[in-house]
Amino acid sequence: MPRSVSRSSVGTGEEGDKLSLPIAEIAAAVRAREVTAVEAVTSALARIAAVDAELCAFREVWGEAAVRRAREVDVRVAAGERLPLAGVPLAVKGRYGERAADAVRLIAAGCVPVGATSVPAPGTPWQTWGLGAGGRTVNPWRADRVPGGSSAGAGAAVAAGLVPLATGADGAGSIRIPAAWCGVFGLKSTNGRLPHPDRTGLSAVGAVARRAVDLGAYWRCVAEEGDEECESVRRPLTALWSDSLGFARSDPGPALVAHGAALRLDGAGVVRLLPPDDAVVRLDDPGPAWLALRAPGAGGGGGGARGANTGGGDTAAAHRLRAANDRRLAELFSRADLLLTPTTPNPPHGHEGPGDRYSTALTWAFNLSGHPAASIPAGFGPDGCPVGLQVVARHGEEQVLLRVMAEAEEQAGLAGC
């Protein structure tokens, strides 16, 4: 439990116990009429009221609307409708998060949005922070540190137990970084797998949860698929470790903790780490290409426009770098099922900013390439803050990532806070 945020006054009683369950079990309890959706949502709202003045994870809390929607879920359940996520309290990213493709499907499945989580405000070039209704969002583990971003409130709210699930969007690490720094699980989907309005194609939908199994329930709902994995995946899953991807400079603290988590996965039989000589992980720094594709007037960077020169020398160079890294990653994934790295090269920074460090150094490569990626809680660094282990899979293999996350939690003891 995060020591910087007190939860002693919330989550007590029968409803609080229900909210501590996996989200599929919360929904099962609502469907069985053991607890109502109104009770589940009211419990979440009570947690938010008790804690969020300190945490500032929410930009808006939709109390009356959430209770009204919960009543509607209870009516649907009473009428015999089987809602897979009936009554599960949900936080959505930003003021317009209800419109996101995954949120629409979650709400249709019975989730009840209780509010909009914080995101960065204008005025900083760095996006690893958030501004809630009461001020800057704090890291639940250390109030003098940021929670990561741009899905800042999502990571903080889930880590502090205000909601069991929060949606996000990941354009450079915006789900994986707050998941890592808040000590929870985060999933970025394959770019283009689900609709996203980002003109560049660099952003993908995803979510943050305290349990790996909850991200599995999230994905089954939003992707509308079962638990089947790609038949071509080898057993056991093979993995390559890199703390730099060939260009980044990782601090020793996060790198050692993340590598220790990778060794635990190997020791538990979740993965088989390959010797470094089996495939050299050496990408070009994706930063300049990412920034060029994000620049105003650069045009689309995803989908069919991926290989096109959309004008400007920087954009043309960006496409060349992207193509070169894509070739290297294709070769890497022909030799291994997974790539493991620290989620970030640095620990959570203070509210004054990261200085000259790019916290995205190890994540935005996979927004450029489009690969699905996850952050798994790896442990704690010397500063007392959580560290994440990034796991990257082949395009379209979210189910592989979900399997690794679940086994990391169940077999290797890499659990959320």
The residue assigned the tokens 């050299």 is 280
Question: Is residue 56 within 8 Å of 118, Cβ to Cβ?
Answer: yes
Which bin fits 99, alpha (ψ -120 to 50), beta or left (φ > 0)?
alpha
Structural tokens at position 89? 């309290």
Which residue among 43, 118, 151, 174 is the active-site one? 174
Structural tokens at position 195? 């609709």
The residue assigned the tokens 């009543």 is 71
- Does residue 369 carry a catalytic annotation? no
Phi, psi of 179, deg, nearest 5: -60, -45
Torsion over CA: 360, 366, 372, 374 (sign): negative
Structural tokens at position 239? 């993995």
For the CA atoms of 243, 247, 253, 257, the dihedral, rounded to the nearest 10 degrees, stands at -10
Q: Coil, helix or strand for 176?
A: helix
Which residue among 43, 118, 150, 375 is the active-site one? 150
Give the Cα separation of 406 and 248 in Å (integer): 28
- Does residue 174 carry a catalytic annotation? yes
Give the Cα separation of 396 and 27 in Å (integer): 27
Which residue among 93, 118, 188, 250 is the active-site one? 93
Number of Cβ within a 10 Å radius of residue 199: 15
Number of Cβ within a 10 Å radius of residue 253: 17
Q: Coil, helix or strand for 48?
A: helix
- Does residue 8 carry a catalytic annotation? no
Question: Is residue 322 within 8 Å of 369, Cβ to Cβ?
Answer: yes
Q: In this structure, which amino acid lies at residue 366?
A: F
**Longest distance between any two alpha carbons in the chain, whole Å:** 62
Which residues form the catalytic set?
93, 150, 174
